[in-house]
Amino acid sequence: MAELLQHLVNGLVLGGTYALLGIGLTLIFGLMNVVNFAHGEFYTLGAYVAFAALAWAGVDFFVALLMAIAAGAALGWLCEVTLLRPLRGESIDTTMLVMIGVWIAMQNGELLVWGGVAKSIPHPFPTAPLVLGPVAIAPLRIFVLVLAAALIAASWLLIQKTKLGRAMRATFQDRDTAALMGVGIGRIHAATFAFGSGLAAAAGALLGPVFLVYPSMGDLASLKAFSVVILGGLGNLPGATLGGLLLGIVEELGAGYISSGYRDAVGFVIIILVLLFRPSGLFARQERIA
């Protein structure tokens, strides 16, 4: 029982960051119809920015997180404006190939800049775990979970309560009508991509100190983000949140009770099974945003 609780808590921490990754991707995929294989690279970028900020500049953890988000959003915006905007209206395969190109280029760029050796991010939290009844949890992990929850809530507020969010929802429902009603589709696309990339970078900056940072870390992050999107349904924000938590918990349980070697297989199996049996996602009545 104590072991199960421990796995659940660890899974929740992991799942919170998966949810961040998934929300970013589900918005980009759902709203722009772009299969963003470079999503994991923004996660890696966030982790490296946090590393540079904390290890070299020695700034506060919050500042490092904000810097990571800003870097991810800025590069995401640049990517959208230079590469995706000219291709709007092209087939989904065309933009997918471009994003595969961006993925390879970014990952090897990171390899050139940072080298292949994994780095650990120094963090200001005590390493002694907090013991709460049967469960022990490192303060860093609590911090990660709380911040992930805050970012998820902020994303939800942005989508539901702001003018930009309303324009995004309108674009998702019917792009042409939204454009006729005066929504600047180009601006919405750029904002969506920047926002999604910023969230991915935040996930990287949060999970980076928990694990290690290395150039190919984004590959698995991309795939996990895709499994979250598929679990939750395209463009479904609460679905992505629940899907992320579910993936994190199932992974922890799988690693704990079945075999740790197959931990990463969980995401792959989820992709295959959900696409086979419930292609619109576990939580969706239909494809939607919000």
Partner 1 sequence: MTRAGGWLLAAAALTLPLWLSSAYHLHVAIMAGIFGVLALSLNLLLGFTGQLSLGHAAFFGIGAYTSALLTLKGAWSFWAALAAAVALAGAAGWLVGRLSLKLRGAYFVLVTISFAGVISLVSVNWIELTNGPLGLPGVPAPELFGWSLRSKTAYYYLVLAAIALSYLVCARLVKSRIGRAFVALRENEPLAESVGVDVTHYLVLAAVVSAGMAGLGGSLYAHYTRFVSPEVFLFTYTVTMVVMVVAGGKGTLAGPLVGAVLFTVLPEALRAAASWQWQMLAYGVLLVLLVFFLPRGIVPAVQALRGRDAS
Question: How many angstroms separate the CA atoms of 57 and 225, rounded?
Answer: 30
Residue 287 beta carbon to partner 1: minimum distance, rounded to whole angstroms: 13
Which amino acid belongs to residue 256?
G
Which residues, including other chains, have CB under 8 Å from residue 79's CB and lie 6 or more apart? 38, 102, 193, 197
Q: Mask: binding to partner 1, 183-222, rule CB under 8 A, as x and -?
A: ------------------------------------x---
Residue 259 touching partner 1 (CB under 8 A): yes
Measured from the CB atom, the residue of 134 and 279 that comes closer to partner 1 is 279
Is 108 or 160 the residue whose CB approaches partner 1 more closely?
A: 108
Minimum separation from the CB atom of position 229 to partner 1 (A): 9
Question: Which position among 268, 282, 288, 290 is part of the footprint of partner 1 (CB under 8 A)?
Answer: 268
Please identify which residue in 4, 154, 212, 275 interacts with partner 1, judged by CB under 8 A.
Answer: 275
Find the helix or strand (DSSP H, E) in which 135 lies: strand 135-137
The site for partner 1, by CB under 8 A, has a size of: 40
CB of 218 to partner 1, least distance (A): 12
Across-strand partners of 130?
A: 137
Of 186 and 279, the one with the shorter C-beta distance to partner 1 is 279
Which of 223, 231, 237, 250 is close enough to bind partner 1 by CB under 8 A?
223
Chain residues 131-170 in contact with partner 1, contact rule CB under 8 A: none
Q: Of the two residues 66 and 97, which places its CB atom closer to partner 1 in the complex?
A: 97
Token output for 142: 């609590």
Instruction: Give Cβ neighbours of residue 30 (< 8 Å, ≥ 6 apart).
Output: 172, 234, 235, 236, 287, 289
Kindly identify the residues of this chain, within the stretch 4-33, that bind partner 1 according to CB under 8 A. Answer: 29
Phi-psi domain of 133 (left: phi exceeds 0; alpha: psi -120 through 50; beta: other): left
Question: Cα separation of 26 and 167, whole Å?
Answer: 16
Please, which of residues 73-102 interact with partner 1 by CB under 8 A? 83, 86-87, 92-94, 96-98, 100-102
- Taking the complex as a whole, the smallest distance from the CB of residue 231 to partner 1 amounts, in Å, to 12
Q: CA–CA separation, 191 vs 184, rounded Å?
A: 11
Site for partner 1 in 35-54 (CB under 8 A): 35
Distances (CA, A) of 184 to 74, 90, 233: 19, 19, 26
In the set 106, 194, 250, 255, which binds partner 1 (CB under 8 A)?
A: 106
Write down the H helix ranges in the chain: 2-32, 39-51, 61-79, 92-114, 139-161, 163-173, 175-180, 185-207, 217-232, 237-257, 265-277
Whose Cβ is closer to partner 1: residue 24's or residue 209's?
A: 24
Length of the chain: 290
Binding site for partner 1 (CB under 8 A): 29, 35, 83, 86-87, 92-94, 96-98, 100-109, 111-112, 219, 223, 226, 230, 259, 261-262, 264-265, 267-269, 271-272, 275-276, 279
